[in-house]
Amino acid sequence: MRRDSLFYQLFAQLPQTLFDLLGIDTPQGYRFDSVELKQTAFRIDGVFVPPDPSGTVYFCEVQFQRDTTFYERFFAEIFLYLRLYRQTFSDWQAVVIYPHRQVEQVSFEPYEMLVNSHRLHRVYLNELGALETLPLSLALMQLTVLPEAEMPTAARLLAERTRTEAVPRPEAIIELITTIVLYKFTELSREEVLHMLGFTTEELKRTRFYRDVYAEVREEVLQQGLQQGLQQGLQQGLQQGLEQGLQQGLQQGLQQGLQQGLRQGETLVVLRQLRRRFGELPAGLEERIRQLPAHQIEALAEALLDFTALEEVFAWLERSS
């Protein structure tokens, strides 16, 4: 599991996560960034930059593997940053996130005073508490370290909390839950994970996955529609042989071509989703779907989100015929 990337997404989407870990109210105006210190090729994974020079800068590192020289590197990066950007803050704090205590570096010398100081906060995810009682941002963190057998139930619990609690940007949280589960269940598609977690069709439509798929198809559809519309318009205009007829033919051809292209695009989306979920489709089934009118294609695109077996597709087609 590439947890560095995952936690970067979490902090970028929900910067209040760091302050939830520290048990303090989220200050306004902080910017999360990953900072490369080019002079030494050091990189600090997470820096929370205060909005003005009177604030505190926070350094955050996610450490899921034992590194016998971790603190040497971490403090070297911090102090180089303090030297380079001293004019941007007045104080500093550091946070290290571990899955459990066994991963932490054993010997702290000669940094024991810093490790045990008020400036360094060490967080062990398996000691945060129950998912039900944690702030949602911290519950997302703890989800990353749960065993595979516990993850679906825990993820569904967090999805339900997203629906019932007043949380900022619920669509971002849905996306994060889905991404975390995908890291664990690599054989599942993103859409399958969304259904496993019980997200509704409307919630699915608000995810970046859904928007990306349809944005890709809309681009294909627009290109196909314009091409078909231009061809049909030119043919009709040439047949009429008049300038007025050419212009009218172009307009009508473009409109007809775009409508046909949109229907074909919706059909491609439906077929792609069915193949992703059920594998290769019977030739007869694919042909029946391609023959459906536009309104039935749209209805099938909604209905298939709830299908769990290919037989349900046949049953839906029979009911709709």
Q: pLDDT tens string for the chain (321 positions)? A: 456 677 878 888 888 888 998 988 888 888 887 776 655 456 777 899 999 999 999 999 999 888 999 999 999 999 999 998 999 999 999 999 999 999 999 888 888 999 999 999 999 999 998 888 898 889 999 998 888 888 888 988 998 888 888 877 788 888 888 888 877 776 776 667 767 777 665 655 665 555 554 555 455 555 655 566 556 655 665 565 545 555 665 566 555 555 565 567 677 778 877 887 777 888 788 888 888 887 788 788 777 767 777 888 888 888 877
pLDDT at 256: 58
Sheet holding 120-124, edge to edge: 31-37, 42-49, 56-62, 91-98, 120-124
Distance between CA atoms of residues 110 and 127, nearest Å: 27
Distance between CA atoms of residues 4 and 100, nearest Å: 16
Provide the whole-model pTM: 0.59
Asked if 35 and 84 count as a contact pair (C-beta separation under 8 A), the reply is no
pLDDT at 235: 63
Residues, the chain: 321
What does the DSSP 8-state code read for residue 45?
A: E
pLDDT at 1: 46
